[in-house]
Structure formats: C-alpha cells, structure tokens
Amino acid sequence: MRFNAYFCGMSNASPLPQLSAEEIRVVGSLMEKSRTTPELYPLSLVSLTTACNQKSARHPVVSYSQASVSSIVDVLRRKDLLTRVLGDGRVPKFRHNLAVKYPLVPSELAILTLLFLRGPLTVGEIRNLSSRLYDFEDLAEVAATLDKLSQNDPPYVQSIGRGHGQKEPRYAHLFAPVDLSMLSNSDPDELQSHLSGESSDSLSARIAQMEARIASLEAALQTAGLWSPAEDVSTDEIDRNPN
C-alpha cells in the first residue's frame, strides 16, 4: 500500500511528478554521473544502463535490459525530465533536466541523488555518503538543506521517522509515492510522535489532494468506458437491507 504524504497547507503550486521506481533509478543515475564523472556526461544508452545496474551505491540493486532503459528514457523525455543530445560520433546521449525544471542548487541535488539511488537516509548517512556529489561542511548544513527541501512548496522531501535502532529520523524524497513499508519499519514511538504532530490543516490538505486524485482517476476510467458510477443507494434502502 502506498500514499503521497505532503505535510503542508493548501497551495496553488504544481505537484511533483510521481515517478516509478525505474524512472527514479534512471534519473538518479544521470544525476550521480553528472557529478562523479562529468567528463563522460551526458551518458549513452549503454552507459546509462550500466549506471542503473551498478552494484555499489544502489538500493536495491537491479538488472535492467538496454531495451527497458530505452523505454524508460522515452517516458522521461515526454515528462520533460530528460533530454536527448548528440555526442561525439553522433551517438545519442542523455542528460537529466531536474535542475532546469525545478529551482534546485547543487547541495539539494546531491541529497536528492542519494535519496533516489539509496532510499531513505538519515542526516548522518547523507553527510557520510555525499562527498563525491557535494562537500557539505558539517551535519548542520545537511540538516539545513533538508529543512529547505521539506519546506518547499510543494515539498521535495519529508521525514519518515527513525528506523529500528537508529537515533536520527530518516528522510525520503517525494518524487514517488512513499511506501508504507518504510514507515512500518519506523520506531513506533517516533512514528506516533511524527504523525500526532501533523496539524488539522495538513490533514485537510492531504485529504483534498487524495480526493482530487481519486476524482481524476474516476473521470479517466469513465472516459475509457472501464467504469461507471454506481447508483446512489438511499438511507431508507440501507435500513431495509442491513446485509
């Protein structure tokens, strides 16, 4: 089961795209290589496939075929998150558009890259893993950057509570639905504290967003002829037929 968690008030800002795990892996790989191997960036399809399937600095480790990556690239191009360019020898290459589409600075891109490729992380883990992407001065700078990302409208990251045995809360990006299984691994007391601190305005905003998405889905299904709204059942009929 999955949900989109936006701990913020109502806003007219455009929501973030909700990407699949495969799309996140492709974009994250491009973001990483643009910083760690800039001399080889943008990436050819072969290099991008290798980057996605890399066994280090990835969770989970995957094994995408070149054809699969090519299909994902096409989807991301339609979403304006990836651009095709011609490299040396006229070989098509690809670069991400995240920093163009969204007002993100290098420190923020570094954090999102880690969250895209490794899943939820603590402040300390981000500080320890980020050296090749961005040189954070200390933990306070990481925390400040996460705070900025979480306060954006719409937010780019959110805290999902501590994992078992962890002293720090973990952070997840919001370019994909937050998997409830990540929350189920949270420390129970931390998760309860985290959820109880959510304001009624935030809850109302989340409910409104969910209702809007359901209405949009219903409209799409009706248009495709796959669903029609059930007739209203009166209260009297329910009383007469309790079963």
pLDDT digits (tens, 9 = 90+) for 58-84: 999 999 999 999 999 999 999 999 999
Do residues 6 and 154 make contact, with C-beta atoms less than 8 angstroms apart? Answer: yes
What does the pLDDT average to over 39-52?
A: 97
Say whether 164 sits in a helix, a strand or coil. Answer: coil
Of 106, 120, 102, the residue nearest 184 (C-alpha): 120
Do β-strands 92-96 and 43-44 pair in parallel, antiparallel, or remain unpaired? antiparallel
* The predicted structure's pLDDT at residue 180: 57
Say whether 47 sits in a helix, a strand or coil. Answer: helix
Higher pLDDT, 128 or 5: 128
Of 112, 120, 110, 106, the residue nearest 159 (C-alpha): 120
Question: Quick count: other Cβ atoms within 10 Å of Cβ 221?
Answer: 13
Residue 60: asked if its preceding bond is cis (omega within 30°), the reply is yes
* The predicted structure's pLDDT at residue 190: 46
- Tell me the whole-structure pTM to 2 decimals: 0.71
Element (H, E) at 160: strand 157-162
Token pair recorded at residue 179: 């998997």
* The predicted structure's pLDDT at residue 181: 60
Do residues 110 and 35 make contact, with C-beta atoms less than 8 angstroms apart? Answer: yes
Token pair recorded at residue 232: 């209203």
Over residues 146-182, the pLDDT tens digits come to 999 999 999 999 999 887 777 889 999 999 988 756 5
Pick from 7-16, 60-69, 105-114, 146-155: least confident: 7-16
Of 195, 219, 27, the residue nearest 116 (C-alpha): 27
